[in-house]
Amino acid sequence: MTDQALVVFDGVAKRFGNFVAVEKLNLEIRKGEFLAIMGSSGCGKTTTLRMLAGLEAPSEGEIRLDGKRINDLPTWNRDTPMVWQSLALFPFLTVRENVEFSLRMRGADKAARRRRVDKWLERMQITEFADRNVAHLSGGQRQRVALARSLVTEPQILLLDEPLSALDAHLKVRMQSVLSNLQRELGITFVYVTHSQSEAFSMADRVVIMSRGRIEQIGNPQEIYRAPRTKFVAEFLGSSNIFAGEVSNVSEAAVKISTPAGEFDVVPNAAKPLSKGNKATFVVSDDRLHLSNRPPEDRLNRLQASVVGEEFVGATAVIHLEGAERIEIKVQKSHDELEQLNLEPGAQVWVSWRPDATHILPGE
Cα separation, 278 vs 54, in Å, equals 45
Site for other proteins in 174-233 (CB under 8 A): none
Q: Which of 4, 26, 133, 165 binds other proteins (CB under 8 A)?
A: 133
Site for other proteins in 141-180 (CB under 8 A): 149-150, 153
- Is 101 one of the binding residues for other proteins (CB under 8 A)? yes
Cα separation, 49 vs 227, in Å, equals 26
Q: Which is nearer to other proteins, 71 or 75 (CB)?
A: 75
Cα separation, 131 vs 117, in Å, equals 12
Cα separation, 355 vs 364, in Å, equals 19
Nearest-approach distance from CB 190 to other proteins, in angstroms: 16
Size of the site for other proteins (CB under 8 A): 33
- Is 126 one of the binding residues for other proteins (CB under 8 A)? no
- Is 237 one of the binding residues for other proteins (CB under 8 A)? no
Cα separation, 77 vs 271, in Å, equals 43
Nearest-approach distance from CB 83 to other proteins, in angstroms: 9
Q: Which of 102, 183, 197, 301 binds other proteins (CB under 8 A)?
A: 102
Q: For the chain, state the CA radius of gyration.
A: 25
Nearest-approach distance from CB 220 to other proteins, in angstroms: 29
C-alpha angle 232/42/215, rounded to 5°? 45
Cα separation, 282 vs 229, in Å, equals 10
C-alpha angle 246/224/326, rounded to 5°? 40
Nearest-approach distance from CB 71 to other proteins, in angstroms: 16
Site for other proteins in 49-88 (CB under 8 A): 53-55, 74-77, 80-82, 84, 86, 88
Q: Which is nearer to other proteins, 52 or 227 (CB)?
A: 52
Cα separation, 157 vs 73, in Å, equals 16
Q: How many CA atoms lie within 13 A of 328 on its CB side?
A: 8
Phi then psi for 145, rounded to 5 degrees? -65, -45
Q: x/- string (CB under 8 A) for other proteins, residues 299-338?
A: ----------------------------------------
- Is 16 one of the binding residues for other proteins (CB under 8 A)? no
Name the residues that contact other proteins, by CB under 8 A: 53-55, 74-77, 80-82, 84, 86, 88, 90-95, 97, 101-102, 105-106, 131-136, 149-150, 153
